[in-house]
Amino acid sequence: MHVRLSKSFGFEAAHWLPCFPEGHKCRRMHGHSFRVDVIVEGELDPSVGYLIDFADIKRATEPIERALDLRCLNEIAGLENPTSEMVAAWIWARLKPALPMLSEIVVHETCTSTCHFRG
């Protein structure tokens, strides 16, 4: 049986987007309550009845959450241009070694704006 699991975490962070033109609202420093969905996918092991323990996903995401929460994202190496797309790719690069079944990262920048990244 093929399954997909999702575990979410959130962080509060400020950023500005230097890639946008002068005068654009996103060029100014502002903040978001980000939510990230970490999605793993694979074949269920029938002998145990689950794909992966949700606690294992949480354990893998905790250092990332700590690195991003209450920060200015532009000051984090690799996030000098912290668009949702770049944040998703940054998280993926740090999670994939710990979660080989990782299939997707979804970054919710606002209630209505998300980025889906599949490596």
Query: How far apart, in whole angstroms, are the C-alpha atoms of residue 64 and residue 57?
Result: 12
Instruction: Tell me the pLDDT tens digit for each residue of 73-104.
Output: 999 999 999 999 999 999 999 999 999 999 99
pLDDT in tens, 29-66: 999 999 999 999 999 989 999 999 999 999 999 999 99
User: What is the Cα–Cα distance from 34 to 13, expressed in whole angstroms?
Assistant: 7
Q: Are 3 and 42 in contact (CB under 8 A)?
A: yes
Given a contact cutoff of 8 angstroms between Cβ atoms, the answer to whether 34 and 107 are in contact is yes
SS3 43: strand
**Model pTM?**
0.95
Radius of gyration, alpha carbons of the chain: 16
Contact between 105 and 112 under an 8 Å Cβ cutoff? The reply is: no
**Which CATH code fits 2-117?**
3.30.479.10
